[in-house]
Amino acid sequence: MTDIKPDRKLLFHLFMNGNDGFMPHMDEGQRTSNYIDLPNEEFSHPILAQDQMRRYVDNLALGELLGFDSSVIMEQRVPAILPSSTVLSSWVLARTKGLRVGALGPSSTTYASPIKMAEEIAMLDVMSGGRFFVAYPMGIGPAFYQTGANPTTARRRHHEFTRLVSRALNEPGPFEHRGEFFNLPYVNLWPKPLHKIETWMPASGSRESQVEAARARHTYITFLSGTKGVVRYLEQFRRIAEDEFGYTPPPSQLGGTVQVYVAESDKQARKEFEAGLLWFYQCVLRANFEESFPPGATTWQSIQGLLQSGFVFKPEDLTYDAMVNEGMAIVGSPETVTRKLEDFREETGVGQVLVVADGGGSPEWMVRKSTELFAREVMPHFRPEGGRPIWDDEGRQSGFNTLSEAGARWPGVPRDMIAKIDGKLYNAHNYHVDDLRVPVDGKPPAFPKQ
Amino acid sequence: MTTQNTLIDVAPGHVDVIGLDTVYRRRGEGDPVLFFEGQGYSGRWIPFYEELAATFDVIVPDHPSFGETELVDPINDFNDLSVHYAAFLDALGVGPVHAVGQGFGAWVAGEFAAIYPERVRSLTLISPTGTLPDEDEKMVDPYRLDREHWLDAALGPDRDQYNFVIDSDEDGVNRVLTDYKERIGIARVAWNPRYSLRMEHRLARVTAPSQVLIPEEDKLITPSVARRYSELLSTAAPVTIVGASAPTQHLLVIQEPAQIAQKVVELASQAS
């Protein structure tokens, strides 16, 4: 959870769906969805995939120049080409210097061991100088058909898994873990991360996720909801935190996801954005109940609550006006988008916004145009004077950029490197220097501390 | 006996099975039959049970996550389910049974019989799932089918005449919830893999008389599955149950209750 100063009204995280393939429209043929089994031979040519991935990481790396508070990397399988958020994150981190990068997606269901995920998180944090954070989604329903993970035990396993990852990242090792799904006698992470990794819990209103986020004090980020849904889910989350865990979550622990498009005027924004947005809902999000909700991924009680409240998830039936009116998309001139974001902040109480900037089917130039207008003309209204992103405002908190900095902060080493040569022990570190080649007589000398 | 287009109301019983309140229905007198139900008709006394009850003491428990029986964390695979049913019989004080199962329930019956062969006097598997299909057969993904498509596949074009068995008096939302709950129970043990390689090894333990009954058309289970059961059980080839008025389908226990009950009676007469 990030501490936010009072004059920083919102944190903005740049996010891309990355779904810009050329999958068939749902009105063609008998296909119930484009998830799961859309043939790769026909719809995912490697040249197309390379261009999609290039565009995806290029646009997210631009988050640094644009001044977003972070770029957040998706993990999504068919029909997207983003099956590893950590691999994609490493690319964006390597191409930026100060930007924070979050992986929204390393999914417990795709890992055999929590240690592997913890290692990847720690490596990315260390290699990037402490700029990495992570979100732990359960994964969308169709993913269970793709990966074979059992949806009926996934949540139990996910909770044990992510708690263990957090312990491995934050507690001294080795320690032993005894759980239902994992018994690991030697949890001992090498390397440890450079800083305390912020964690998010992205969810679409499931009580189980809300309880887990409140318990672990993860940042709770709502997904796929209009403003009313965000208000309802965050209210549920606040109540759980207060009633069951005894604290009131600050705005910095609350986030919402909004599709955003900015152009010169409201009229022009609609003209540029409408078709791409509708394409996304009609061609990407459409799936039948059984595919969206594989058995047990959502508890029976949650499904009961959902259905009995009259929920009918038919994204293909959503109109542009409905999405805009319900706050699922904020579209317009910079002035309109600023005003609507301010309304969204006041209505929901969020302190963080995940800005979905690619809208689905929009061509690359539109994405670039919209994000630049957003950065120049919208974000400054929600920031302290100077308009800096949080990572530039606060400076780097951990790690180093230069070797002189590393030397100044060198912590020393716990032991010398000892090698036995001709029956005697030497310091291997300076054995090659004649003047320093002195046997250490079985008692390793301490390395001189700075 | 069954009244035309009406289900007999048999009150559910409750029994504690290692801490799990297990709901079952029981009716009839004679040797005990333990029926392992399939998907789509839990929590009710279907005409097939009534046919069996003319000869047997018929016991029909609801699987964990079927009917009113809840699913609990300790049940994660077919071994756990088998232990659950052994403990269920212990709790009722019932000795060896004639085990009968349909669809998913036939798979449970096969696993149960392989682990506890001494508790099975005869074994009848009806349109079973559970063995590894031949490589060239494409398995249907039952979890992706919505209710309408699943019923079309399970009962065929004449499905409406069985609405009194399948639909009960539930409204649309409750039917979806019932299906979802049953599928949770199935997926807990049969999401991945959707077949049992263990049975390839274990089923040889079953020495009781056994039979495999299949429909004329099964749009949910491929033909090699039943054939493989017959091979592993060293029994005769699967017997096709022919419909009186239309070709039988996956839910043939609902379409041809009297014919199948007669088959169970005949097999039971061979049991020691």
Q: How far apart are CA A193 and CA A170, in angstroms?
A: 8
What confidence score (pLDDT) does residue B8 get? 94
The whole-number pLDDT of residue A450 equals 40
Q: What is the mean pLDDT of residues B36-42?
A: 96
What is the average pLDDT score of chain A? Answer: 90
Q: Sorting pLDDT into bands at 50, 70 and 90, what band is B77? A: very high
Structure confidence at residue B201 as a pLDDT band (50, 70, 90): very high
Indicate the helix (H) or strand (E) that contains B224.
helix B223-232
Q: What is the pLDDT of residue B4?
A: 63
pTM, two decimals, is 0.92
> Is A82 in contact with A71 (CB distance < 8 Å)?
no
Burial of A336 (0-12, 13-18, 19+ CB in 10 A): middle
Q: Does the CB of B44 have a partner CB in chain A at under 8 Å?
A: no
Please indicate whether, in this complex, the C-beta atoms of A32 and B173 are within 8 angstroms of each other.
no
pLDDT over 70 for what percent of chain A? 96
Query: What pLDDT sits at residue B3?
Result: 46
Contacts of B188 in chain A (CB under 8 A): 150, 152-153, 296
- Adjacent-strand bridge partners of B25: B60
Counting residues of chain B whose pLDDT is more than 90, the rounded percentage is 89
Instruction: Report pLDDT digits (tens) over B45-71.
Output: 999 999 999 999 999 999 999 999 999
Q: What is the pLDDT of residues A431-440, one digit of tens each?
A: 999 998 988 8
- Distance between A112 CA and the closest CA of chain B, angstroms: 15
Q: Is B141 close to A303, i.e. CB distance below 8 A?
A: no
Residue A405 has pLDDT above 90, yes or no: no
Cα torsion through A21, A22, A27, A31, rounded to 10 = -70
Mean pLDDT of A157-172: 96
Q: Locate A405 and state its tokens.
A: 């900095």
Q: Measured between CA atoms, how close is A292 to chain B, in angstroms?
A: 9
Q: Judge whether residue B1 has pLDDT over 50.
A: no
Mean per-residue pLDDT, A195-222: 90
**Distance from C-alpha of A247 to C-alpha of A10, rounded to nearest angstrom:** 21
Please answer yes or no on whether A289 and B176 come within 8 Å at the CB atom.
yes
**pLDDT higher for A209 or A185?**
A185
At what angle are helices B172-190 and A151-170 packed, to 10 degrees? 60
Average pLDDT of the segment spanning A245-270:
96
- Are B215 and B240 in contact, with CB atoms under 8 Å apart? yes
pLDDT beyond 80 at A396:
no
At residue A1, the pLDDT reads 57
Confidence of residue B2 (pLDDT cuts 50, 70, 90): very low
Residue A381 is given by DSSP the state G
pLDDT of residue A449: 47
Instruction: Round to whole Å and give the CA distance between A164 and A182.
Output: 9
What ipTM describes this predicted complex? Answer: 0.94
B143, A290: Cβ pair inside 8 Å?
yes
Report the C-alpha gap between A366 and A376 in whole angstroms: 15
Query: Using one digit for the tens of pLDDT, what is the confidence trace for A55-94?
Result: 999 999 999 999 999 999 999 988 888 999 999 999 999 9
Average confidence (pLDDT) over A347-355: 96
pLDDT in tens, A282-330: 888 878 889 999 999 988 888 887 787 766 667 778 899 999 999 999 9
| pLDDT for residue A441 is more than 80 | no
Q: In chain A, which residue's Cα lies nearest the Cα of B191?
A: A150
Enumerate the residues of chain A whose CB falls inside 8 A of the CB of residue B144: 32, 36, 145, 288, 290-291
pLDDT for A21: 72
Comparison of pLDDT for A159 and A24, the residue scoring more: A159
For residues B240 and A78, what is the distance between their CA atoms, to the nearest angstrom?
40
Residue A303 near chain B (CB below 8 Å): yes
- Mutant choice from B71, B149, B182, B191 vs A, greatest count of A C-beta within 10 A: B191
CA distance B234 to chain A (A): 32
Are the beta carbons of A295 and B186 separated by less than 8 Å?
Answer: yes
Instruction: Read off the pLDDT band of A28 (50, 70, 90).
Output: confident
Q: How far apart are the first and last CA of chain A?
A: 34
Predicted pLDDT of residue B170: 65
- Asked whether the beta carbons of A389 and A68 are under 8 A apart, the reply is yes
Short-list A334, A353, A358, A342, CA closest to A273: A358
Q: Which residues in B lie closer than 8 A to residue A304 (C-beta atoms)? A: 177
Token readout for A87 is 């691999």
* Res. A417 pLDDT band, cuts 50 70 90: confident
Residue in B76, B173, B180 nearest the CB of A295: B180
* B160: Cβ contacts below 8 Å, ≥ 6 apart: none
pLDDT over threshold 80, residue A119: yes
Are B176 and A307 inside 8 Å of each other by CB?
A: yes
CA angle, residues B99, B101, B107, in degrees to nearest 5: 105
* pLDDT tens-digit series, residues B206-223: 999 999 999 999 999 999
Contact state of A295 with B184 under an 8 Å Cβ cutoff: yes
List CB contacts (< 8 A) between B141 and chain A. 145
- Cβ neighbours of B180 in A, within 8 Å: 293, 295, 300, 303
Chain A residues in contact with B191 by the CB 8 A cut-off are 144, 148, 150-152, 295
State the maximum Cα–Cα separation within chain A, in Å, rounded to a whole number: 84
For residue A157, pLDDT over 80 is answered with: yes
Q: Mutate which of B69, B78, B183, B194 to test chain A, going by most A C-beta atoms within 10 A?
A: B183
> Given the DSSP bridges, would you call strands B120-126 and B210-214 parallel, antiparallel or unpaired?
parallel
Average pLDDT of A339-362?
A: 93
Band of residue A394 on the pLDDT scale cut at 50, 70, 90: confident
pLDDT, residue A3, reads: 65
Contact of A145 with chain B, judged by CB distance below 8 Å, is answered with yes
Mean pLDDT of A155-164: 95
The set of residues, in sequence order, having a beta carbon less than 8 Å from that of B230 and lying 6+ positions away, is B212, B236, B237, B238
Residue pLDDT, tens place only, B151-174: 999 999 999 999 889 875 666 788
Mean per-residue pLDDT for A107-136? 96
Contact: B187, A156; criterion CB under 8 Å: no
Report helix, strand or coil for B64: coil
